[in-house]
Amino acid sequence: MPISEDTEEDNDLNPYDFVLAFAGDINFDENWSTMKYYNTVEDGIYDCISPELIKMMKEADITCLNNEFTYSTGGDPLSNKAYTFRAHPSRVDILKEMGVDIVSLANNHAYDYGEQSLIDTMATLKQADILYFGAGHNLDEAMTPVYFEIEGKTIAYVAASRAEKYKMTPQATEEAPGILRCYDTELFVQTIREAKKKSDYVIAYAHWGAEWTHELEEVQLTTGKEYLDAGADIVIGAHPHWLQGIEYYDGKPIIYSLGNFWFNSQTIDTILLNIHFYGDDTEESIELEIVPVIQANMRTQIVTEQSEKERIFSLLEDISINVEIDEMGIVSEIK
């Protein structure tokens, strides 16, 4: 078929169109409710998470979530820590089945069974060809962004954590493994700035906030904006286990918490977040789509009833700062 002049002109403008998907916290701990349930079902993860959700995660160009446990068979649980999570390294295959491309390790459970468990976790993910960010064998690695090239655009992922009242998960040093912390934002801001120099879009993933509440802490409100000022294009939050609101700042979104995705037996509202990037050399757009989900009884199910969809959209609007969400789940800034 002949190529029209209009098509040639459009191609000269370098059009792009891709989707980044984000889900919240997951937990594959062998003694936890999720895996106990998983061990009883016939179709594995497809009996635990809606096939429709897994299909969306696989169809996205990149899918990311928060890996809230270690992959290891060794180590001892950190003393005086209430909850410690460890999965057998073979469980990483579940991530592959879910279509996950990259996980954040900048959280308060990546070191639950000591230094070796973090080392084992990084090795397990690497062997499975799943990328990780926010942790490393040393500080330099923990601060190093992960880059993806999609349709001529470079996307950088960076992560840090400030989630512990008692700081039991160590920051990496020049010689020792650990995570990147952001109680003091200096190193994370430096990481974001370096990432922006080498990318078109920076995703800053922050493990922060209070657990089991929709309420935001003041430090989330201030540092989220600091990360955008440093060069991040989107800030994604984890740790609270519940959904928290969305705020646009200088035209860029902060999603304060995605909540649990497949984490425990509690009944909670959650989401799969699809972020649509599209445009060309003359203009660019970033669109947030909310896919409403409910986690209940160790199962994470997509919401299909319109009334339930609207209930979750309304909840998210109510706890957000300056957004509205239409009946299709598309998020818009209220200006």
Per-residue pLDDT of the chain (335 residues; tens, 9 = 90+): 344 444 455 568 999 999 999 999 999 999 999 999 999 999 999 999 999 999 999 999 999 999 999 999 999 999 999 999 999 999 999 999 999 999 999 999 999 999 999 999 999 999 999 999 999 999 999 999 999 999 999 999 999 999 998 899 999 999 999 999 999 999 999 999 999 999 999 999 999 999 999 999 999 999 999 999 999 999 999 999 999 999 999 999 999 999 999 999 999 999 999 999 999 999 999 999 999 999 999 999 999 999 999 999 999 999 999 999 999 999 999 99
Residue 308, domain member (yes or no):
yes
Residue 1, domain member (yes or no):
no
Give pTM, 2 decimals: 0.96
Residue 9, classified by CB atoms within 10 Å of its CB into exposed (0-12), middle (13-18) or buried (19+), is: exposed
174 — phi, psi (to 5°)? -60, -25
**Alpha-carbon gap, residue 189 to 232, rounded angstroms:** 9
In terms of Cα–Cα distance, which of 14, 13, 35 is closest to 26?
35
H or E element: which one contains 207? Answer: strand 201-207
Helices 186-197, 218-230: axis angle to 10 degrees equals 30
Q: Which residues contact 83 (CB under 8 A, 6 or more apart)?
A: 109
Residue 43, domain member (yes or no):
yes
Residue 287, domain member (yes or no):
yes
Helices (H) and strands (E) in the chain, counts: 9, 20
Residue 60: predicted pLDDT: 99
320 — phi, psi (to 5°)? -90, 175
Give residue 33's Cα distance to chain centre. 22
**Alpha-carbon gap, residue 13 to 4, rounded angstroms:** 15
Q: Which domain holds residue 31?
A: 19-333
Assess contact for 145 and 195: CB atoms under 8 A. yes
Q: b or e along 82-106 (b: 16 or more beta carbons within 10 Å of the residue's beta carbon)?
A: eebbbbebebbebbeebbbbbbbbb
Assess contact for 227 and 204: CB atoms under 8 A. yes
Residue 2: predicted pLDDT: 42
In terms of Cα–Cα distance, which of 313, 314, 334, 312 is closest to 323?
334
Report the CATH number at residue 217: 3.60.21.10
* CA pseudo-torsion sign 139, 112, 235, 60: positive
Residue 11, domain member (yes or no):
no
86 — phi, psi (to 5°)? -145, 130
Q: Tell me the Ramachandran region of residue 71: left when phi exceeds 0, alpha when psi lies from -120 to 50, beta otherwise.
A: beta
* Encoded tokens for 206: 């922050």
Q: How many structural domains is the chain composed of?
A: 1
**Alpha-carbon gap, residue 136 to 140, rounded angstroms:** 8
Residue 12, domain member (yes or no):
no
Residue 33, domain member (yes or no):
yes
Residue 11: predicted pLDDT: 65
Residue 280, domain member (yes or no):
yes
